Amino acid sequence: MNRSPDLNPIPPPSLRLQPLPHLTDTNPKLTPFPNPIDRNQFYRPPTGFYVSPSDIVLRHVTHDLSGAFSSPSPDPAYHRAGPRKNVYFESAQIRAAIVSCGGLCPGMNTVIRELVVGLWELYGVRQIHGIRAGYRGFYSMDPIPLNPKLVHNWHKLGGTVLETSRGGFDLEKIVDAIQHHGFNQVYIIGGDGTMRGAVKIFEEIRRRELSIGVVGIPKTVDNDIGIIDRSFGFQTAVEMAQQAISAAHVEAESAVNGIGLVKLMGRSTGHITLHATLSSRDVDCCLIPEMDFYLEGEGGLFEFLGRKLKENGHAVLVVAEGAGQDLIPRTDKQKEERDESGNLVFLDVGSWLKSELKKWWERDHPNELFTVKYIDPTYMIRAVPANATDNLYCTLLAHSAIHGVMAGYTGFVCGPINGTYCYIPLTEVAEAKNPVNTDDHKWAWVRSITNQPDFTKAG
């Protein structure tokens, strides 16, 4: 490897700077150019505008000085995101491709819009193309030319104008198509499965020794991508989830022995359920994938809800879609069923809980009034436009991605760590998980608000 020392500064022994792939790793003859932002007729970069490769972001900012708990040593650090003084692409030679994959998420159109506008206005790029229908669109559909006028109002729309899909990942066909179309910058928007695919694309491009920048922009409404502070669309999802919880509360409060049951998104993590519970204060019990629960017996869900109904006359139960999957009976066929991304198809925990609640009440409280109102706002939440906070976040993500690729970095993800945007190797993000830590303060706050049981059986 014949890299400039400026691209790979040596950190002090207490830090471990995560190496970031660069186009010069496979093509050391590449030469940098002055950043075209210097020539922008409407903007003059002030002193300190450009980020140095020696600017880093620490993964951990809290440490225990008592020695009772070990701190990571050396502490992981990442390159800070932002524009560099020199770039490795000439604007006139850039052909950029933008693709969105996986399920819908508030903010997808904003990211696409800001990528187009940022490339066009900041760096003078004129050949920008959208890839339709996810990864399969690289080899099965013609790219769509994009420009600022076309995408002007996209941030006001839910979904993704480029369309999306799951599956369709054929590595050879995708990279062949990237070469065929002459793309030298590829922007990939998607969740953890999409990021794993992006790693393979990046590695295949390196194997072929192509000077193509690949960047991942993490998208998952569940907020289950690790390392970064949060993924875009998450705050919009929590805001919309509160509306569903409020409706469930009204329904429950307006009935005799009424239960409002809300199922929220979260296959493997309960972040939306947790944050919506903390925000609404109407929730009596919060069930997430990271915490097992049981229905019958002392300390079980039925006992707790029975007590709440006796005290208040109503209760609100919020459950993440991935919670309780091991409790729901499955046929042999259902045990093997997978979706297009290869994930186990989950059964509807909300419908199952509604059924079990009715059975419990009819058995233990015959001839007493009882109502369960079940609300599943999943597709309403996924399809809305991003709120103001997420729109701003999407803009910063898009611009961070552009600056990183222009600086010659590749095989990375952009995102905030401890509030500062940085570049993280794709391989790290693709492997990292972000489960709810049920030992930390946030889960303790949930327990203090709901007073729900810990669902730990005695003995």
Whether residue 267 is annotated as binding a ligand: the answer is yes
Which residues are paired to 374 by β-bridges? Answer: 261
CA separation for the pair 164, 104 (Å, rounded): 8
The DSSP code sequence of 203-224 is: HHHHHTT---EEEEEEB-TT--
Confirm whether residue 108 is marked as ligand binding: no
Token look-up 């006796």 returns 310
Peptide bond into 385 cis (omega under 30): no
409 in a known ligand binding site: no
Does the annotation list 382 as a binding residue?
yes
Active site residue 222: yes
| Residue 187 known to bind ligand | no
Angle between helices 441-450 and 271-280 (to 10 degrees): 50
* Active-site entry in 25, 142, 176, 222: 222
Q: Say if residue 282 carries a ligand binding annotation.
A: no
Lateral strand order in the sheet of 258-264: 285-287, 314-320, 258-264, 371-375
Cα–Cα distance for residue pair 56/54, rounded to 1 Å: 6
The whole-angstrom separation of Cα 459 and Cα 261 is: 30
The answer to whether 240 is a known ligand-binding residue is no
DSSP run (H or E) holding 218? strand 213-218
Q: How far apart are CA 191 and CA 232, in angstroms?
A: 11
| 381 appears as a binding residue in the annotation | yes
The reply, when asked if residue 273 is annotated as ligand binding, is no
Q: Is 103 annotated as a binding residue?
A: yes
Tokens for 33, please give them. Answer: 């150019």
Q: Is 191 among the annotated ligand-binding positions? A: yes
Tell whether residue 193 is among the known ligand binding residues.
yes
Residue 135 among known ligand-binding residues: no
Q: Which residues pair with 15 in a beta bridge?
A: 75
Please give the positions annotated as active site.
222
Summarize the annotated binding site for substrate as residue ranges: 220-222, 265-267, 321, 379-382
Summarize the annotated binding site for ATP as residue ranges: 103, 166-167, 191-194
Summarize the annotated binding site for Mg(2+) as residue ranges: 192
Summarize the annotated binding site as residue ranges: 103, 166-167, 191-194, 220-222, 265-267, 321, 379-382
